[in-house]
Amino acid sequence: MKHFKFGGSTAARTIKCPSWTDEAAKNPQRGGSSPAAAEGTVLHGIMEELIEDGAILPADFYDTEHTVDGHTILIDQDHLERLNMALDAYLELDGKYKFDDVLIEAEFSLTDHIGGTCDILAYNATHVIVLDWKFGQGIAVDPVENAQGMFYAMCAEQTLPDLFKGKQIVIAIVQPMPSRHDFGTLKTWEVPAKHFSAFKQTYMKAVKSKGYQTGSHCTFCAGAATCPLKVQDASAALRMDATNLVSLSAALALATQLEPWIKEVKKIAHEQLEQGATVEGWKIVDKRATRKWLDEEKALIFLSKLRRIKKEEYMAPAALKSVAQLEKTKFDMSVVSDYIIKSSTGTTMAPASDPRDEALSEASLRAALNQLA
């Protein structure tokens, strides 16, 4: 899959801060995705399989392991619930628009530098539907004026002009959030023609422009660590008196703007430590290990023979609960300790004074393995 300098997920940022790519280019090569991003990639891939093969169900993926950029994702009950919600939303959308055809994970581009991969592009005689899966649980995504959706429509229109001719464009966001049933998994917006035209003009003007602007679009910016406005904000924040009620509101606003910058600085430092570099005063340590069943079938047989626990306490509903889910029942986990295995979830950064032992960096591990080979 090609990586474009200007893509769909950064469309809103490009419009508001055209020079973000200049700062991103200054930063070291990224060492991989975050666990949340890896989870999203896995769930996207499963949705692709579910739609391409109507004979399989989300339950078929239960307890399967998927590794992305060094992160291992184990499909559990929470994932199944979100996958089922996403599939139901897709079928609801298909029922409403009665798709003639569906393009899955299709790549569209305007130029060699502008383009991206659209999760779903579906159409009928009167509508073109751009669907975007959103499996993040933190920020609810709105399809109205959604820059990412309109970006994919713009690129797809360039590639398939006849398909779009005379049709209504629909942006659909499918975001299953089990903890927020009031939000609604499926949200759509029929894009007014004048809005789409204005977006295309605004976007193309932005990619040819220069300039910085801070805002919510800074959250996942790869250039945040060296952004000149962030550096200015950091200097200003250090001079503020947060105990003064008059300046407290301004201090809070600056603190919010600086959070992405702080996160990016820490991310770069962590990646450098993993690559074997020395960052004075810091080290990497192992994260707390996660636990899972060593052999789910044997654990289920063992639990079924115990009188101290009811079946509904260890089943959820047709499969064995995960170790984490069983812990919430206040069951004595020492009884099943022989059926549980611990697995590392990676490393995190800590001050050099942290009592935990320093973890082996990825670079050191590779060097050790090469010596053994």
pLDDT, tens digit, 9 for 90 and up, residues 198-246: 999 999 999 999 988 888 888 778 887 788 888 787 777 777 777 777 7
**8-state DSSP, 308:** S
Q: Using alpha carbons only, give the angle 106, 110, 116 rounded to the nearest 5 degrees.
A: 35
pLDDT band at 196 (very low <50, low <70, confident <90, very high): very high
Q: What is the mean pLDDT of residues 264-270?
A: 83
Q: CA 197 to CA 152: how far, in whole Å? A: 14
Report whether pLDDT(274) > 90.
no
Cα dist from 67 to 9, 90, 158, 285, whole Å: 22, 26, 35, 21
* Candidate CATH numbers 3.40.50, 3.30.1460, 3.30.70, 3.90.320; the one for domain 11-207: 3.90.320
Q: What is the mean pLDDT of residues 360-369?
A: 68
Q: Compute the mean pLDDT over every residue in the chain, rounded to the nearest whole number.
A: 87
Domain residue ranges in the chain: 11-207, 216-269, 282-365
Q: CA 39 to CA 16: how far, in whole Å? A: 28
Which has more confidence, 176 or 234?
176
Report whether pLDDT(31) > 50.
no
Among the residue ranges 11-20, 82-91, 281-290, the one predicted with the least confidence is 281-290
The secondary element (H helix, E strand) that includes residue 189 is strand 186-190
Q: Note the pLDDT of residue 344.
A: 67
Q: Using alpha carbons only, give the angle 224, 229, 235 rounded to the nearest 5 degrees.
A: 105
pLDDT band at 73 (very low <50, low <70, confident <90, very high): very high
**8-state DSSP, 224:** G
Per DSSP bridges, beta strands 290-293 and 71-74 are: unpaired
pLDDT band at 290 (very low <50, low <70, confident <90, very high): confident
Q: pLDDT over 90 for what percent of the chain?
A: 45
Q: pLDDT over 70 for what percent of the chain?
A: 94
pLDDT band at 268 (very low <50, low <70, confident <90, very high): confident
Report whether pLDDT(260) > 80.
no
Side-by-side strand order, sheet with 115-123: 101-109, 115-123, 127-133, 168-174, 186-190
Which has more confidence, 21 or 119?
119
Q: Note the pLDDT of residue 33.
A: 65
Contact status, residue 233 vs residue 254, Cβ threshold 8 Å: yes
Q: CA 200 to CA 115: how far, in whole Å? A: 13
Q: Note the pLDDT of residue 255.
A: 80
Q: Note the pLDDT of residue 28.
A: 55
Q: Note the pLDDT of residue 151.
A: 98
**8-state DSSP, 341:** E
- At 32, list the tokens: 């991989």
Q: What is the mean pLDDT of residues 10-20?
A: 93
Q: What is the mean pLDDT of residues 265-275?
A: 84
pTM score of the predicted model: 0.70
Q: What is the DSSP string of 96-145?
A: HH--SEEEEEEEEESSSSBEEEEEEEEE-SSEEEEEEE---SSSPPP-TT
Amino acid 129 reads I
* Torsions phi, psi for 347 (to 5 deg): -120, 165
Q: What is the mean pLDDT of residues 318-341?
A: 85
Q: Note the pLDDT of residue 373.
A: 56
Which has more confidence, 253 or 56?
56
pLDDT band at 187 (very low <50, low <70, confident <90, very high): very high
The DSSP bridge partners found for residue 320 are 315
